[in-house]
Chains A and B, each alone.
Chain A
């Protein structure tokens, strides 16, 4: 694959911020993206690779605007209703950890790329929209990053991020299916948990 996902992933995070309630979804994405980029550009520690700082930034600015249970349901697909409420909770927790880590890792590769915001094609009454952005990079076509967002009582929430045509959520579906086929829902929870643990170990082994 000759695309540069990196960015993509980078911006997957820039989804929505706290004071953005009541804003139109595209305005929200733009506000948060610019805010997060602004912080990264100024924070010397983040630029030096301080992952803890990056995690904090993502936690504060981005996560409140993701709907993780919807994301997990989307990734799991048809098996979702078959999971008990407890299993769903555990799945959401583990999947959230994995996604957040990936995002924050992607974000840390940001290097001053330009992000363009494309006009929103939606009617005012729509409760489910796609906010389109693109990242300009040398030597490749602009990489699209689309945020699927839905309106909830607590504002617009992102439930999928599609980078260069690849949904970061549904890309897990085949894998999750296979895991559930082989080891049931609990097997999938276990796999996700051990993946997260392995990444923890890696992270702590890495010099700060």
Chain B
């Protein structure tokens, strides 16, 4: 039932999407018109139903009980997290996740207590979207999914089509129980995010754009497990020891050159229009260009803004022709 509703909403969304894909002011966000609309719908639903329920839950439940609930659901998630770590070649981390599940499910009383973290097995954050990203697939355009919120083509596909197969709750045989558990998890997740969502609203000039750009930065960071290769504009180029690191990473870890869709446009945006935090500049470059870029970062640009900007201009010629094509298609002026 839940899935049917989700599916319906998705279809509606896709229809809406084809209708208004051309609007929007941000060159890095081709679906902005639809996205803003769906962001508003989600926000309305959230204000009307989910947030009040989560607030009530938070007010009523003692903190230790909520922590137990959060831990319980987090524990179930560790299996899929472990599998994804292994799919990404991080076998040690993956085994650690499965070990967490084993320990927390037993010693931690069906996951209510996170014993494993105290024993030094840190929790990880993985999903199939990150696995695809790690394998080198580009993210595609930013998309706000109905109910599920911020996503992009790659991660949205992963979430709707793949990730739920790795979610133990979907395998609960008794359907009402299953739905209750899933509902409880939604409420618990939302309760944990109450403070964050309030802060984001307070901080944002444009709530939609603030959430979008934070999502894009966050996903990029997650794909690289919190240590993404420096972006040319990141203003962090003088990080010591980054030198050898960058070159090594650029060679080994960066996804190969990819079909540039959204990313190509972002690159153009970045080079000409602005240094955006969200752009995944380096990833859109062929390996050779990336190496040049990395070296340029190391040699040239100091921490000053001007030099970064100059650097961006220099790199522009290295942008693959595909990007230019994508760029032309969007009808943006260079």
- Using a CB–CB cutoff of 8 Å, the interface residues on chain A facing chain B are 1-6, 9, 73-74, 77-81, 98, 101-102, 105-106, 109, 111, 121-123, 126-130, 136, 138-142, 144, 148, 150, 159-160, 164-168, 170-179, 181-182, 191-192, 195, 199
Q: Which residues of A sit under 8 angstroms from B309, Cβ to Cβ?
A: 78
A136 vs B193: C-alpha distance in the bound complex, in angstroms? Answer: 16
Partner of A5, one of B63, B117, B199, B212: B199
Is A166 within 8 A of B67, CB to CB?
no
Q: Which residues of B sit under 8 angstroms from A165, Cβ to Cβ?
A: 217-218, 220-222, 226, 228
Partner of B202, one of A105, A138, A167: A105
- Check B73 for interface membership: any CB of A closer than 8 A: yes
Is A128 within 8 A of B236, CB to CB?
yes
Is B125 within 8 A of A141, CB to CB?
yes
Closest A residue, CB atoms, query B127: A2
Closest chain-A Cβ to B215's Cβ sits at a distance in Å of 6
- Count of chain B residues with a beta carbon within 8 Å of a chain A beta carbon: 60
- Check B277 for interface membership: any CB of A closer than 8 A: yes
Closest chain-A Cβ to B13's Cβ sits at a distance in Å of 19
Closest chain-A Cβ to B246's Cβ sits at a distance in Å of 13
Closest chain-A Cβ to B71's Cβ sits at a distance in Å of 5
A111 vs B63: C-alpha distance in the bound complex, in angstroms? Answer: 10
Partner of A130, one of B71, B195, B202, B239: B239
Partner of B238, one of A2, A126, A164: A126
Known: A138-B67, A138-B114. A160 touches B274 (CB 8 A): no
A141 vs B218: C-alpha distance in the bound complex, in angstroms? Answer: 13
- Check B26 for interface membership: any CB of A closer than 8 A: yes
Is B205 within 8 A of A191, CB to CB?
yes
- Check B189 for interface membership: any CB of A closer than 8 A: yes
Give the interface centre of A128, A148, A182 by most chain B CB atoms within 10 Å: A128
Known: A139-B70, A141-B125, A165-B220. A109 touches B205 (CB 8 A): no
Is B196 within 8 A of A178, CB to CB?
no
Closest B residue, CB atoms, query A124: B240
A179 vs B204: C-alpha distance in the bound complex, in angstroms? Answer: 13
Q: Which residues of B sit under 8 angstroms from A181, Cβ to Cβ?
A: 25
Partner of A121, one of B122, B214, B239: B239
Q: What are 6 of the A-B contact pairs (CB < 8 Å)?
A: A122-B241, A138-B70, A150-B303, A164-B218, A173-B276, A182-B25
Is A140 within 8 A of B125, CB to CB?
yes
Is B206 within 8 A of A4, CB to CB?
no
Known: A4-B192, A78-B275. A129 touches B221 (CB 8 A): no
Closest chain-A Cβ to B169's Cβ sits at a distance in Å of 15
A178 vs B205: C-alpha distance in the bound complex, in angstroms? Answer: 11
- Check B278 for interface membership: any CB of A closer than 8 A: yes
Closest B residue, CB atoms, query A150: B303
Q: Which residues of B sit under 8 angstroms from A102, Cβ to Cβ?
A: 199, 202-203
A151 vs B128: C-alpha distance in the bound complex, in angstroms? Answer: 41
Is A173 within 8 A of B275, CB to CB?
yes
Partner of A74, one of B28, B235, B240: B235
Q: Which residues of B sit under 8 angstroms from A141, Cβ to Cβ?
A: 122-125
Closest chain-A Cβ to B171's Cβ sits at a distance in Å of 21
A45 vs B315: C-alpha distance in the bound complex, in angstroms? Answer: 53
Give the interface centre of A3, A106, A128, A138 by most chain B CB atoms within 10 Å: A138
- Check B74 for interface membership: any CB of A closer than 8 A: yes
Give 18 new A-B contacts, CB below 8 A, not counting A102-B199, A173-B275. A5-B196, A105-B199, A105-B202, A109-B199, A123-B241, A139-B73, A140-B192, A141-B125, A165-B220, A171-B213, A173-B213, A173-B274, A173-B276, A175-B204, A175-B206, A175-B213, A192-B205, A195-B205
Q: Which residues of A sit under 8 angstroms from B213, Cβ to Cβ?
A: 171, 173-175
Is B199 within 8 A of A128, CB to CB?
no
Q: Which residues of A sit under 8 angstroms from B240, Cβ to Cβ?
A: 121-123, 126, 129
Closest chain-B Cβ to A44's Cβ sits at a distance in Å of 18
Closest B residue, CB atoms, query A128: B238
Is B202 within 8 A of A148, CB to CB?
no
Closest chain-B Cβ to A150's Cβ sits at a distance in Å of 6
B193-249 contacts to A (CB < 8 Å): 193, 195-196, 198-200, 202-206, 209-215, 217-218, 220-222, 226, 228, 235-236, 238-241
Q: Which residues of A sit under 8 angstroms from B314, Cβ to Cβ?
A: none
A95 vs B150: C-alpha distance in the bound complex, in angstroms? Answer: 26
A199 vs B201: C-alpha distance in the bound complex, in angstroms? Answer: 10
A178 vs B209: C-alpha distance in the bound complex, in angstroms? Answer: 10
Is A171 within 8 A of B210, CB to CB?
yes
Is A139 within 8 A of B305, CB to CB?
no
